[in-house]
Amino acid sequence: MNAQTASDFSFDQTELRRVFGQFATGVTVVTTRGDGGAPVGLAANSFSSVSLDPPLVLWSIGLKTPSLSAFRQHSSFAINILCDQSKSLAQQFATPSEDKFAGIEWQPGLNGVPLLDAAATVIQCATQARIPGGDHEIYLGRVVDFCNTGKPPLVFHAGNFATLGDRI
């Protein structure tokens, strides 16, 4: 069977992006180590839990993303789920920059992977598989450790950041 692309259908990619944006997601910064051990990170809302036994998560990265090679070369990563007070942190990691970690407090985790101090939750993972996914590469990670502060999460919906507000 031949693989089909969006151009095989009559979808307007901008409109399809808006449709996908109707699904509210949490906001994460996925981190790893790069050349010479330098910290590497990017904002991602493609995170999802997969399995409890074994404990697995997934996320995806665009094939044109500058930090792709760091994730391919390193055997572990961390999912830093941002808290509702971390909008500026999300924007810093979503914006191209020579040093996305400038002014960011973090601690080394599994294999030196950066764990962000301001995160609501941190999930440390060993890369289990990389799977082709169109214009993205999907990372399947085995959870090896986690920490949850209980802080409310930052949410992304329809191209905007939001908070959950009062929870019932």
Query: Residue 158: what residue type?
Result: A
Identify whether 34 is part of a domain: yes
For the chain, what is the domain count? 1
* Any domain includes 93: yes
Per-residue pLDDT band at 67 (split at 50, 70, 90): very high
Residue 48's domain comprises: 26-99+113-151
Apex CA 123: angle with CA 121 and CA 124, to 5°? 145
36-56 confidence digits (pLDDT tens): 899 999 999 889 999 999 999
User: Token pair of 67, please?
Assistant: 């930090």
Rounded Cα gap, residues 147 and 150, in angstroms: 9
20 assigned to some structural domain: no
Kindly state the tokens that stand for 100: 């996305």
* Residue-level pLDDT at 141: 98
CA distance 93 to 89: 6
pLDDT tens digit sequence for 114-166: 999 999 999 999 999 999 999 999 999 999 999 999 999 998 877 888 887 64
**Strand, coil or helix: 14:** helix
User: Which CATH number fits the domain that encloses residue 119?
Assistant: 2.30.110.10
Query: Measured on CA atoms in the order 39, 43, 46, 52, is the torsion positive or negative?
Result: positive
Note the pLDDT of residue 23: 62
Per the domain annotation, does 5 fall within a domain? no
Q: Closest Cα partner for 114 from 21, 34, 15, 11?
A: 34
